[in-house]
Amino acid sequence: MKKIVKILGATGSIGKNSIDVMKNFTNRLELYAFSFGYNVREAEEILKRFSSPYIASLKKEDVLYLKKKYSFIKEVFWGDEGIKELAQIDTDITVMGISGAEAIIPTMKAFDSSKRIALANKESIVMAGPIINRLKREKGVEIIPVDSEHSAIFQSLVGERREDIKKIILTASGGPFRNLSKEKLKYVRPEDALRHPVWHMGKKVTIDSSTLANKGLEIIEAVYLFEVSLSMVDVVIHPQSIVHSLVEFNDHSIKAQLGVPDMRLPIQYALFYPERTDAVVRPLSLFNRTLEFYPPDPDRFPALSLAKEALMFGGTMTTVYNRANEEAVRLFLDKKISFIDIPKLIEKEMEMHKNEIIVAPTLSEILEVDRKVKRNIMNQI
C-alpha cells in the first residue's frame, strides 16, 4: 500500500529535496497535498508530476489559476489560514519543511492529521518543545527529525535504551568564518556569509550556521526532541560535515552516522523509517579523506553560549532567543546591522526578558512573547 504524504513548504529547500526523493519512489509514496509560498512555477512542476488533489499557497490568485488549469485538483486553500487548513488534511506522513517561527501553528495542526511528522522546522521545537512533546504522546504521533544532526542522533539511538546515553554530540561545520579573527568578523558582509562551504540551504539557516546560532538552536532542539538535559549535549566543530552527529554511551562507546552531506538522505530516512530503501544519494567514499574535529570558540561565536543560557532559563526564553536571532539575521541581510551585532541583539533581548519569563507557557503566550520581541526590535532600528 502506498503511503500518503503531504509537504508543507514544498518549494523551499527541504521541500525541493523531499520532492526529489519522492520522484524515486512514486510506486510507494503519494503526494496527496502540498503548500508553497509564492513559487507558482515550481508548484506547477510538482503538480504535473504528482497530480496532487489538495494545494495551498500564500497567494489566492496562484492557487485559483492552478485549479482552473488542472482538473484533478479538488480543493485549494490560500493565505496563512489556508496553510493551516492544508496542515489538517489527513495523511500518513507530514513533511514539515516551512522554515522560521511562522511554522509553529501548522506544525501543531499536523499532530491531528498525521501518523508521522518528518520535522525539519527547528523553530517550532525551540519555541514550544514541551507542548510538542505532550502532543506527540497524547496523539501517538511519531516525530522523525529531518535536521541532519538530529537524524544522525535518532539513527544512533535505534535499539538503545535511553538510560544508557551519556552524551549527545552535535557536529557543526563551523561555517565560512570558522578561522576568522574576532577583528575580521566585524567586517563580514551578507554575501560572504551566504557562501557556505559544504551545505546549500536557505538564506536564514546559512547565516545561522555562520554565527553558530544554528547550532545553538540545534542544542535546544536536541534537548527537547531526545528529552535529555543540557549538560548531556556537546558541540564539536567538524568542517567536512561527513559525521552528522554522535551519541556516547555510559560504557564510552560512541555511535555515529556518516554520509555525504545531502539533505535527501535524512529526508528519505524519515519517510521510510525503519526501512532502508534504495539509495538516492551517492555513496560515501572513505578513502583519502581527512576528518577533523575541534572545540567551538564561544568567544568569537557567542550565539552558541546564549542558546545554552536561554535553555537554562527555559520557558519563553528560548522563544526570545529564536525571534531575536531571526530578526537580527533579517537586519544583517538588509545591511542594517553588522555581523557581530547579531549575537549582541539576541543578548539584549534576552536580558530584557529575564524578569518576564513564563516557565510553562501556553501556545498563545509563546506567540505573544514572539510578537513582543519582534516589535521591540523593529522599534529600535
Q: How far is the CB of 43 from Mn ion (least distance, A)?
A: 26
Q: Which is nearer to Mn ion, 147 or 349 (CB)?
A: 147
Q: Which is nearer to Mn ion, 281 or 367 (CB)?
A: 281
Q: How far is the CB of 149 from Mn ion (least distance, A)?
A: 5
CB–CB of 129/319 below 8 Å? no
Q: Which is nearer to Mn ion, 116 or 122 (CB)?
A: 122
Q: Which is nearer to Mn ion, 85 or 147 (CB)?
A: 147
Kindly identify the residues of this chain, within the stretch 309-328, that bind Mn ion according to CB under 5 A.
Answer: none
Q: Which is nearer to Mn ion, 11 or 13 (CB)?
A: 13
Fill in the per-residue mask, 246 to 265: x = in contact with Mn ion (CB under 5 A), - = not in contact: --------------------
Q: How far is the CB of 5 from Mn ion (least distance, A)?
A: 22
Q: How far is the CB of 222 from Mn ion (least distance, A)?
A: 10
Q: Which is nearer to Mn ion, 91 or 148 (CB)?
A: 148
Fill in the per-residue mask, 141 to 170: x = in contact with Mn ion (CB under 5 A), - = not in contact: ------xxx---------------------
Q: Which stretch binds Mn ion (CB under 5 A): 41-49, 139-147, 223-231, 322-330?
A: 139-147
Q: How far is the CB of 194 from Mn ion (least distance, A)?
A: 17
Q: How far is the CB of 218 from Mn ion (least distance, A)?
A: 6
For the stretch 90-94, contacts whose Cβ atoms lie closer than 8 Å and that sit 24 or more positions apart, written own/partner, are 90/4, 90/114, 91/4, 91/5, 91/6, 91/32, 91/33, 92/3, 92/4, 92/5, 92/116, 93/3, 93/4, 93/5, 93/6, 93/117, 93/118, 93/271, 94/5, 94/6, 94/7, 94/8, 94/118
Q: How far is the CB of 159 from Mn ion (least distance, A)?
A: 23
Our CA angle for 31, 21, 240, nearest 5°, is: 145
Fill in the per-residue mask, 89 to 128: x = in contact with Mn ion (CB under 5 A), - = not in contact: ----------------------------------------
Q: Which is nearer to Mn ion, 218 or 349 (CB)?
A: 218
Residue nearest to Mn ion (CB): 147
Q: How far is the CB of 19 from Mn ion (least distance, A)?
A: 20
Contact residues: Mn ion, CB under 5 A:
147-149
